Amino acid sequence: MTARVAALWRHPIKSHGRESLSHVHLEQGQTMPWDRRWAVAHEDAKIVDMAAWAPCQNFSRGAKAPRLMAINASVDETSGTVTLSHPHRPDLRFDPDTDQAAFLDWVRPLMPENRSASAKLLRPTQNGMTDTDFPSVSLLNLASNDALSSAMGGAPLSMLRWRGNIHLEGLAPWEEQGWLGKRLRIGTVEFEVREEIVRCLATTANPETGERDADTLGALNATFGHQNFGVYAVVTQSGDIALGDRLEVL
């Protein structure tokens, strides 16, 4: 079976919702457009602006607040507004650059009382605030997810636990781990694969409910001897990707 794009996702506000796409244009050296365009600094963050990349410890995120994992998002690119939805909150449509108070009120009930409260929405001056200190796009293998699901007893794991950008089907399980340092072409976009993605507690939460219900990290370590899922790549040639596009290892 030829490896192809099964899904495309972006996450407009880091750790606060995902949005599916049918196609996307990627620019060389850039993140996916509107992916992690904003991040939510908590009250104990060591940063005051987003002039430069900052590590994830400064932000409210699913590893510390699992209920955030059940947020869906949609972007109106014309108005710059984002709509957030959650099974336990009313929908919120707002402009992250100007309506911070509305967002902080909305998200407050989703944050654990024993964690630092969300304090400020920040927007990077250039690239999205991914978990790497370089502008990355994350690639995930559906077959690896199936292998992990089988190791955990067979109940299907949602790919949304992994918060990736490009989901790929038609690969062997863990085939992506052999791509480090290699070039890939998907659609008309070319990538260089930089590193594997080391996973955190966010993946233990169900993306439909926001409740922790699966020991993904324990299963990865016990069965496969690592805590990785997916790879980070950089865009080396601009172009377009759509659902169903082929993957080529160059």
CATH number at residue 169: 2.40.33.20
Shared domain check, 195 and 177:
yes
Give domain status of residue 15, yes or no: no
Give domain status of residue 127, yes or no: no
CB within 8 Å of 48: residues ≥ 6 apart: none
The domain boundary residue, chosen from 66, 97, 122: 122
Shared domain check, 141 and 240:
yes
- Each residue's pLDDT, cut to its tens digit, for the chain (250 residues) gives 799 999 999 999 999 999 999 999 999 999 999 999 999 999 999 876 676 788 899 999 999 999 999 999 999 999 999 999 999 999 999 999 999 999 999 999 999 999 899 999 999 877 889 999 999 999 999 999 999 999 999 889 999 999 999 999 999 999 999 999 999 999 999 999 999 999 999 999 999 999 999 999 999 999 999 999 999 999 999 999 999 999 999 9
Give domain status of residue 67, yes or no: yes
Shared domain check, 25 and 144:
yes
* Cα(159)–Cα(143) distance, integer angstroms: 10
Q: What is the widest separation between alpha-carbon atoms in the chain?
A: 49
Give domain status of residue 16, yes or no: no
Give domain status of residue 191, yes or no: yes
Give domain status of residue 211, yes or no: yes
Shared domain check, 147 and 229:
yes
Instruction: Evaluate if pTM is beyond 0.95.
Output: yes
Q: Whole domain around residue 243: which residue ranges?
A: 4-10+21-30+132-249
Helix (H), strand (E), coil (C) string for the chain: CCCEEEEEEECCECCCCEEEECEEEECCCCCCCCCCCEEEEECCCCCCCCCCCCCHHHECCCCCCHHHHHCEEEEECCCCEEEEEECCEEEEEECCCCCHHHHHHHHHHHCCCCCCCEEEEECCCCCCCCCCCCCCEEEEEHHHHHHHHHHCCCCCCCHHHHCCCEEEECCCCCHHHHCCCCEEEECCEEEEEEEEEECCHHHHECCCCCCECCCHHHHHHHHHCCCEEEEEEEEEECEEEECCCEEEEC
The domain boundary residue, chosen from 122, 142, 159: 122
Shared domain check, 140 and 25:
yes
Q: What angle do CA 105, 110, 113 make, to 5 degrees?
A: 95
